Amino acid sequence: MLIAGTAFKGYAIAASDGTIGTAKTFLFDDSTWKIRWLVVETGHWLSGRKVLIHPSAIGAVDHELQQLPVALTKAQIEASPDIAQDRPVTAQMESGLYDYYGWDPYWGPNYYGPMVFGLGAFAPMPREGSLTGRIDAPEADAMQRNFDDGDVHLRDMSVVTGYHIDAKDGSIGHVQNFLLDDATWAIRYLIVDTSNWWMGQQVLIAPYAVTEFDWGAKKIHLNVTRETVRSSPKWDPLAIIDHDYESHLHRHYGWPNTGW
C-alpha cells in the first residue's frame, strides 16, 4: 500500500514486549530511494539517544491501530549501540547497528539508482572486497568521511519536505510529501505542490525523473519539462492509487513499470 510519509508520524512502535515510543521520521538513501532507517522518539525511556530501526525489522503495519510492530525486544533496543540525539548518523554508526542486530544493509528491492538516473555521482560508495575492485585514494577519502561525518547519501525525509522542484525549463513547486510502499519501504513518488505555478494542483513525480540534488540550495532538479508535468494524469489525493493509474502515469513520462 502507498502511504504518505507524514502519516506514520506518531505511530506507536511496538516491540515484542511493549511499546518503545513513536515514529518520528524516516531516513532515506538519496541514491536508491530506499528507507534506510525509522527514527523512533522514545520519550523519557531512552532520553538523549537516537533510536534507529531497520525496515527489515518492521512487521505488518496496523493502520487502524496506528502501530508499527518491530521484531525486537526492549532489552535489545536498550543495549544497542549508543547514538547521540544531536549527532549526524555516520556509516560507522550504521555499521555498528548492522553488526549488533545482524541486519542486512542491502535488504529489500532496489528500484532506482545510478543505472536508472544515469548519474555516476549517485553511485553507492564501493567497499573493500566488493566486485568493484580497487578503491582509489579519492574514494577511500570519501569513505572515511562517511565514517567520520554524516553519511552523504542519508537524508531526513522531514528535512527534504519543502525543497523546491525544478523541471528542465523552470520551477514547478516544492516537495509536499512522499508516498512510501509500506511493504518494501521504498519511496515510490514525491508529492509535489505546484500552487505557485499551477494553482490548486498536486502531482506525483517518481525518483526516475530526478537528475540532481542541490542540497545547499534545497532544490531538486528533474529531467522533464513543465508542459509534460502539466499534461500528466491527474492525481486525486483522496483516491487510492491503483495499478491502472500507475501504468498510465509511467507511460506518460516514459518511466519503467517496476516497483509494484
For 33-71, what is each residue's pLDDT tens digit? Answer: 999 999 999 988 998 788 999 999 999 999 999 999 999
**Of the ranges 30-34, 145-149, 168-172, which is most confident?**
168-172
**Level-2 CATH architecture, domain 1-154:** Roll (2.30)
- What pLDDT, on the 0 to 100 scale, is given for residue 14? 97
Alpha carbon of 44 to those of 40, 41, 70, 118, 119: distances in Å? 12, 9, 20, 45, 43
The stretches of the chain forming alpha helices (DSSP H) are: 74-78, 91-101, 114-117, 137-148, 157-160, 226-230, 243-253
| Residue in the structure block whose three cell numbers are 540532481 | 212
Q: Domain locations in the chain?
A: 1-154, 161-253
Examine the pLDDT at 194 and tell me if it is beyond 50: yes
- Concatenated DSSP letters of 85-108: TTSPPPHHHHHHHHHHHT--TT-S
Distance CA 67, CA 89 (A): 25
Centroid of chain to Cα 25: 10
Straight-line distance from the first to the last Cα atom of the chain, in angstroms, rounded to the nearest whole number: 9
Q: Which fold has domain 161-253?
A: SH3 type barrels. (2.30.30)
Contacts of 187 (CB under 8 A, 6+ apart): 5, 28, 33, 34, 35, 178, 179, 180, 207
Q: Is the pTM of this model over 0.85?
A: no
Helix H, strand E, coil C: the string for 148-165 is HCCCCCEEEHHHHCCCEE
User: Picking from 42-51, 148-157, 181-190, which range would have the lowest pLDDT averaged per residue?
Assistant: 148-157
Residue of higher predicted confidence among 161 and 195: 161
Domains 1-154 and 161-253 fall in the same CATH topology: yes
Task: Characterize the bridge pairing of strands 170-181 and 2-4.
Answer: antiparallel
* C-alpha cell of residue 241: 492509487
Examine the pLDDT at 119 and tell me if it is beyond 90: no
